[in-house]
Amino acid sequence: MRSTYQRNLAYALVVALAALSFCAGAQAQQPIKAGDSLTGTLRLVNTRHPNGTKIQAYQVVSAPRMMPSDDEFCDDKNGATTFHLVTMEDKLKKQLKPLLGKKISVKAISLHCSETAWHIGDAVVFEWALQP
């Protein structure tokens, strides 16, 4: 006959293994693709390109999102957490400025992993649309 301690230990072990199985499932997500929604906190990053040019980049900081494995610039093990929203037009900057520090959702119409020093973050979203 098992002691109460052994039963409680076995029960705790089963609960811990069940919790770990849920964590593993979160990592096995489908890669983000064009047209998917991206949700996270909006921030503004001020930095400089290696050539000295000032860069001001809006980023969505999210939970790790897997990127397509066929993108040679991706780290397909860890996923992307910082997504650079390209804002070449003043109207896009004006749209984002009041949302700094807040949780937002955007439809990522065109995105890929960062390739150059102009891309600030893990991935760059060239075309996007703010969602309510």
HEC profile for the chain?
CCCHHHHHHHHHHHHHHHHHHHHHHHHCCCCCCCCEEEEEEEEEEEEECCCCCEEEEEEEEEEEECCCCCCCCCCCCCCEEEEEECCCCHHHHHHHHHHCCCEEEEEEEEEEECCCCCCCCCEEEEEEEEEC
Residue 10 and residue 51 share a domain: no
Residue 94 and residue 116 share a domain: yes
Residue 75 and residue 53 share a domain: yes
Residue 44 and residue 19 share a domain: no
CATH number for the domain spanning 56: value is 2.40.50
Q: Tokens in use for 16? A: 């811990």
Q: Considering its fold, how many domains does the chain have in total?
A: 2
Mean per-residue pLDDT pooled into runs of 10, the chain (132 residues): 55 45 50 92 95 94 87 76 94 95 96 91 94 90
pLDDT at site 6: 54
pTM, full prediction: 0.74
CA proximity to 118, closest of 61, 73, 67, 51? 51
Residue 114 and residue 92 share a domain: yes
Residue 55 and residue 24 share a domain: no
Residue 44 and residue 22 share a domain: no
Q: Which domain holds residue 9?
A: 1-30
pLDDT at site 74: 77
Residue 19 and residue 65 share a domain: no
pLDDT at site 73: 78
pLDDT at site 11: 53
Judge contact between 80 and 122, C-beta under 8 A. yes
Residue 62 and residue 102 share a domain: yes
Residue 76 and residue 42 share a domain: yes
